[in-house]
Structure 1
Amino acid sequence: MTAPTVPAGRRLPLVLRNRAFGTVWLGQVFTQAAVRMFQVGISWWLISDAASGAGGSAAGLFMAVSTLPAVVLAPLVARAIARFAHRSLLRTAAGGAGAAAAALAVWACASDLPVAAAYAAALALATCQAFFDPCLTTSVPELVDDGDIEAATGFELSTQSLASLGGALLGALVVDGAGVAGLAAGCAAAYVTAALLIATVRFRTAASAAAAGPVPDAVAEAAEAESRAPRRTLRQILGAVPYVRGILLCFTAANLFTTAVFVVMPLYTASVLHGDGATVALLEASLGVGTLVGSFTGARVPGRPAVVGTACLATMAAALAVPGLIAARPVIAGSLLVTGWCVGVIGVRFVALFQRLVPAADKPAFFAVMQAVLGSTFPVASLLFGFLGDHLSAQTLCLVQAAGLVPAALALALLPGHSRSAAGTAAATPSAPAPAQTPVGGAR
């Protein structure tokens, strides 16, 4: 006797009807919240307490250290994911991060914490996260049925933003209330919980997938054809889509100024607003909520991607200039809300465009290089604006950010259009889930 079929419209959410995926997803929430809480909390501690004489440089170097492993270790991470069992790699990464955070908590409780120890802990946590995130994305087919892969991937990527927002809200508040020791202890608890959750899950293997049933002939033939297709080099991929290459260059330049907001915000809070951790949390929340709203509404914004992108970059430039002219909490929160909305809209519109313009066989290489190129701007921006923060006022830095976006917006507006190709490819290429990295402001 077969179980009754539940209508698709009345099915439970994937995290509730698939225990394995739901458990791993919960582990991801803990790790994403922990790493973001640590970044915001330590950055605020450096500016407000530990390195008051050179807070900008200290916070900029810290943010650079926190983002370098994901870029530098990309080849090693890819080999590790291909070689080791995914559950073991995820559990080890979360457990290693938990051990590093626990060691920092003990050190902070026992004596005054040197700044170098915070940098070392940030490097350790970022290294573990550099293995955890791509391994989790790769593991989705081992946790869900084939028909649920797209839903699982979309759910995973959307909740990353929510978890990061929650961690950002807590970071500065926990440092103000419990110090670095409390912050590190909270991060350690989150990472250890994630490791324990993942340890309880059984991942599917190739053998179990085969036992689940035969692969449809059409799918098997498509997979075989793709495996036999010659792989193009990155130069060939980008050479075949010059419009996409131009867009990437424009957004790489824009990212140098947009991602600096994560250094400028705490500097502005301390030196201009003379606020505390609650103010940092307010500004982080404004930016994060704006990004989420933009991600959900971006597909409804009318106009071609190049027009929408140009308008969003211009709007971001205006919004980021406002704190340089008006030093009022509600005004700054509103400007960051608008900035975040523009980031979300750009991410949705342009990742969808890339999905349509880039051939299916080239997408893995293309999105890998997109993540590396866009992510590499974060440490550069952190170091540059951290150094400038010790010599220029935070309000001046806001104006520098705004001015830097203007050439990027103009370059995108003057980029030769490729709408015909985009429309033709869209009809032939099914859309796929967007990667975690977005063209502007996506690296965290």
Structure 2
Amino acid sequence: MTATEAAGTAEAAATRLPLVLRNRRFAAVWAAQVLTQAAGRMFQVGAVWWLVGYAAGTDRGLASGVFLAVSTLPAVALAPLVAALIARRPHRTVLGASAAVAGLVALGTAGWTYAATLPMAVAYGAALLLAGCQAVFDPCLTTSVPELVEDADIEAATGFELATQSLAGLAGGLLGPLVVDGAGLAGIVAGCAGAYLLAAALIAATRFPTAPGAPTADGDAPADGAPPADDAPPAGRRPLRRILAELPFVRRVLLCFTAANLFTTAVFVVMPLYTRTVLHADGSTVAALEAALGAGTLVGSFTGGRLPGTPTAVGAGCLGLMAAALALPGLPGLPAPAAGQATAVGSMAVAGWCVGVIGVRFVALFQRLVPATDRPGFFAVMQALLGATFPVSSLVFGLLGDHLSPRTLCLVQALGVLPVAAALWWTGRYAPEPAPAPAPGAQPIGDER
């Protein structure tokens, strides 16, 4: 075998490896996202169960709804600031700083929790600060994906990135209620602090590439031939208000998903209430439901790209299936608690799979449809639009949870998703998605072996 053939064989073998084994830069950043989102999810799920099971008394629905609303406000309120920050500063700096600040907030909260009983207002404040850090971290990482991987690996990178939410749901959702039952809220916050600080260390140890002519950390373009500095996006981006205005198909799709989120994200309020009042179970059952949702999303993230059909057709079908899955635990006549628990776990797994499929298909499409210079603003706006309904959903379903049964809330969720599925199908049927734009002119960074 000649040297050329051997090199070709080695390269072909390498390309068959998972992306995280072929690209160490992306693997480190992805691992940091897993840690931050798992920590955030563990704190969120654990704190909600702490409120429902221990701290909130008879107002558990409202208390948990307010907590979840507070946890999502930063992604909505800070979207313009986040977009500007990502556009002007090196991505490595933004990612590392947001993880480090979250670690310090969690560390301070953990110290307070071990020293004295944590007031509910402090728990809400910690949730607000941690969510703010995550609202910076996630769109910055999404913006960095095309710069860390080759164009052919965007779907794979997107699958790994979206799978982070699944892994976070599995780890955080599983550990959160269990740790609260065993070690209280103090154990949750201490674990979160360690995860955030480890993520910051991973980012600090990772060197980000940059294309020639990109601005440096000081905001100035390097001279020709100068060594590349840490990555920073090029200047000259368009105002945020023009991004969605010039992408009508993307705008319609985002509006559909925003409407769907009003009902689907209510599951994080409904699940603890369902466990408490219908199944009469403890934190281990909440953990099982969260784990099923995360496992389903994980599978969907890695199988969604293989399903035939256009993104709108696949998305509409998945929304319809999700409506059926959400309605199943609310149907009258289901025996409880054993059969009811099995039904709820299965429903969460199916709903999670639908979320994973929708996410990987549409985020990969957006990576190609949205011009590279608009991606920081676009993904910040996307996160804000999709998150805008979460506070409303949490408050509305939290209030309803104090007056309606969780079974009824399951049916309300399902009925709300069905019209959105029809709207998304109509969008693809009568306003077909445009062809993806050519790859950006900047030279993509290859795998680091």
TM range, normalised to the smaller chain?
A: 0.7 to 0.9
Given the two structures, how large is their TM-score scaled by the length of structure 2? Answer: 0.80
The answer to whether residue 440 in structure 2 is matched with residue 425 in structure 1 is no
1:189-208 Cα distance to aligned partner (Å, 9 max, x none): 11122223333334446559
Matched residue, 2:179:
174
Matched residue, 2:213:
none
The answer to whether residue 70 in structure 2 is matched with residue 65 in structure 1 is yes
Distance 1:347 1:318 in 2: 19
Q: CA deviation at 1:46?
A: 0.6
Query: Percent identity at matched positions?
Result: 62
Q: After the TM superposition, which of the residue ranges 346-355 and 126-135 deviates more from structure 2?
A: 346-355
Matched residue, 2:424:
412
Q: CA deviation at 1:303?
A: 4.2
Structure 1's 344 and 199: CA in aligned 2 closer, same or farther, altered over 3 A?
closer
Q: After the TM superposition, which of the residue ranges 87-96 and 59-68 deviates more from structure 2?
A: 87-96
- DSSP 3-state at the match of 2:429: coil
Task: Name the aligned partner's letter for residue 264 of structure 1.
Answer: V
Report the aligned-residue RMSD.
3.5
5+ long unaligned stretches in structure 1: 214-222, 432-444
Distance 2:323 2:155 in 1: 34
Matched residue, 2:447:
none
| Match 1:113 to one of 115, 118, 128 | 118
Q: CA deviation at 1:175?
A: 0.9
Q: How do residues 4-83 of structure 1 correspond to structure 2 at under 5 angstroms?
A: 5=7, 7-11=10-14, 13-16=18-21, 19-83=24-88
Matched residue, 2:329:
323
The answer to whether residue 253 in structure 2 is matched with residue 247 in structure 1 is yes
Q: How do residues 88-107 of structure 1 correspond to structure 2 at under 5 angstroms?
A: 88-107=93-112
Matched residue, 2:289:
283
The answer as to whether partners of 2:158 and 2:360 remain within 8 angstroms in 1 is no
Distance 1:140 1:354 in 2: 12
The answer as to whether partners of 1:237 and 1:362 remain within 8 angstroms in 2 is no
| Match 1:378 to one of 379, 382, 390 | 390
Q: Number of residue pairs matched? A: 414
The answer as to whether partners of 1:35 and 1:167 remain within 8 angstroms in 2 is yes
1:245-295 Cα distance to aligned partner (Å, 9 max, x none): 443333222210001101111111111111112101111111122222223
Matched residue, 1:440:
none
Task: Name the aligned partner's letter for residue 108 of structure 2.
Answer: A
Distance 1:178 1:255 in 2: 33
The answer as to whether partners of 1:27 and 1:195 remain within 8 angstroms in 2 is yes
Structure 1's 362 and 269: CA in aligned 2 closer, same or farther, altered over 3 A?
same
1:100-148 Cα distance to aligned partner (Å, 9 max, x none): 2122222222222211111011111111222222333445577668887
Distance 2:115 2:412 in 1: 42
Q: How do residues 200-219 of structure 1 correspond to structure 2 at under 5 angstroms?
A: 200-204=205-209
The answer to whether residue 141 in structure 2 is matched with residue 136 in structure 1 is yes
Q: CA deviation at 1:13?
A: 4.9
Q: CA deviation at 1:152?
A: 5.0
Distance 2:365 2:265 in 1: 22
The answer as to whether partners of 2:79 and 2:381 remain within 8 angstroms in 1 is no
Structure 1's 53 and 185: CA in aligned 2 closer, same or farther, altered over 3 A?
same
Task: Name the aligned partner's letter for residue 126 of structure 1.
Answer: A
Structure 1's 98 and 339: CA in aligned 2 closer, same or farther, altered over 3 A?
same
The answer as to whether partners of 1:71 and 1:372 remain within 8 angstroms in 2 is yes
Structure 1's 149 and 291: CA in aligned 2 closer, same or farther, altered over 3 A?
closer
Distance 2:243 2:312 in 1: 23
Q: After the TM superposition, which of the residue ranges 271-280 and 310-319 deviates more from structure 2?
A: 310-319
Q: How do residues 141-156 of structure 1 correspond to structure 2 at under 5 angstroms?
A: 152=157, 154-156=159-161
The answer as to whether partners of 2:293 and 2:351 remain within 8 angstroms in 1 is yes
Distance 1:290 1:145 in 2: 28
Q: After the TM superposition, which of the residue ranges 25-34 and 176-185 deviates more from structure 2?
A: 25-34
Given the two structures, how large is their TM-score scaled by the length of structure 1? Answer: 0.80
Distance 2:125 2:415 in 1: 34
- DSSP 3-state at the match of 1:391: coil
Distance 1:139 1:395 in 2: 42
Q: After the TM superposition, which of the residue ranges 11-20 and 166-175 deviates more from structure 2?
A: 11-20
